[in-house]
Amino acid sequence: MRRCRVCGSAIEPFMSFGPMPLANGFLRAEEFASEAFFDLEVAFCERCAMVQLTEPVPPELMFHEQYPFYTSGSTLMTAHFHRLAAEVAQSLAREPDAFVVEIGSNDGTLLQAFSSGGTRHLGVDPSRNVAEAARAKGVETLCRFFDEQAAREIVLEYGQADAIIACNCFCHVGDLHALAAGIRALLKPGGLLVFEDPYLGDIVRLTSYDQIYDEHAYYFSAGSVSAWLSPYGLEVIDAQPQAVHGGSMRYTVARKGVHPARAGVAALRAEESRMALQAPHTYSLFRRRIEQSREALRDLLTRLHQQGKRVAGYGATSKSTTILNYCGITPELIEYITDTTPLKQGKFSPGAHIPVRSPAAFHFDFPDCALLFAWNHAEEIGAKETAFRSAGGKWIRYVPRVTIE
């Protein structure tokens, strides 16, 4: 029997995507034979409401010296992080000698706003390549996983933190208890934790099941976040929806009873009960919509192939790995995937083994259709690829439903 990794109750998966490779495991042809697969299954805990993978992949396999994702690669995310940094900086304005820690600081895009203003700061990230990129920007970075031991070492050297920030990081952390214990140790009595992650409510509402992949061990809601943090004396005092990553939530957390809760918390809890996010049947309906979405996408791609149309993928995202493998999409149906990340170009997509090519290849000879894997950046991409449209190119989308236009 499987156990909820937050509360220990028995859980059963509501959905199995079958064998999956590492979502970010872009590889060379000579590595095909040694590619590792695991069962991607997701479960809902009826007691604490946490939606989670039943068997998370060991973090060392995903976050290492070659982590292929750089925050600064997206201008939209960079602008988003600058706004968040400005908000946090404002809340710290009255703190003398404020200290800010970011967990999962990647290439230092967010903390740079603090380092350039001379604010005491520290980034923590286990992936060496991105940590080095952050240091090169003048962002102090500790290259390791964050847990209680790391928190104690940071407190010894710098003192407790006035603010802890984490963006798209906590959902990756396998051991939420080690994380919460670390936060409890690191946060000043009056300090604030601000974290953002893809929001379960949006994933269910949009059937954006491509958010479900190995790196996302948890799919948070206000209900499950409260259940997780409450035993550590922490409470959610604000929740604000964010448009990034196809729907994220920014939670502000403090020690219990220190700061009054703002209206955003009650509003979100009411919305979650309206959506029945705490009810098991919500997840059987979700599974049915996922299955229907797969059929529709497969039908469309097969039809286009029969008509002799050329289809390319747009954005070799981690998310695309779930779609490609769960839907059984082969290089016959999608000729290649175009992506701006040099580390991925010239390699193949995990599992499905579709070649990844540079944007130059896409622009040199436009395909008839492009399957938009980076759908959460649709606006940014649409503005950039007007020539594709003018050449008669069509975008295929699958969130919130399969469309071609």
Query: Which of the ranges 42-50, 101-109, 206-214, 314-322 carries the binding residues for Zn ion, by CB under 5 A?
Result: 42-50
Position 45 contacts Zn ion (CB under 5 A): yes
Q: 3 or 389: whose CB is closer to Zn ion? A: 3
Position 206 contacts Zn ion (CB under 5 A): no
CB atoms within 10 A of CB 93: 7
372 forms beta bridges with 314
Position 371 contacts Zn ion (CB under 5 A): no
- 303 CB-near residues (< 8 Å, 6+ apart): none
Query: Which of the ranges 37-45, 169-177, 194-202, 263-271 carries the binding residues for Zn ion, by CB under 5 A?
Result: 37-45
Position 4 contacts Zn ion (CB under 5 A): yes
Position 212 contacts Zn ion (CB under 5 A): no
Q: 43 or 371: whose CB is closer to Zn ion? A: 43
> Minimum CB separation from Zn ion for residue 10, in Å?
9
Tokens 């599992």 map to which residue?
351
Could you give the CA distance from residue 310 to residue 295 in angstroms, rounded to a whole number?
Answer: 20
> Minimum CB separation from Zn ion for residue 47, in Å?
5
Q: 6 or 84: whose CB is closer to Zn ion? A: 6
- Written as six digits, the tokens of 195 are 């974290």
Query: 173-209 in b/e burial notation, b at 16+ Cβ within 10 A?
Result: bbebebbbbbbbbbbbeebbbbbbbbbbbbbbebbbb
- 148 CB-near residues (< 8 Å, 6+ apart): 178, 181, 182, 185
Pairing of strands 38-44, 51-53: antiparallel
Position 7 contacts Zn ion (CB under 5 A): yes
> Minimum CB separation from Zn ion for residue 78, in Å?
36
Write the binding mask 46 to 75 for Zn ion: x where contact by CB under 5 A, - elsewhere: -xx---------------------------
Position 151 contacts Zn ion (CB under 5 A): no
Binding site for Zn ion (CB under 5 A): 4, 6-7, 9, 45, 47-48
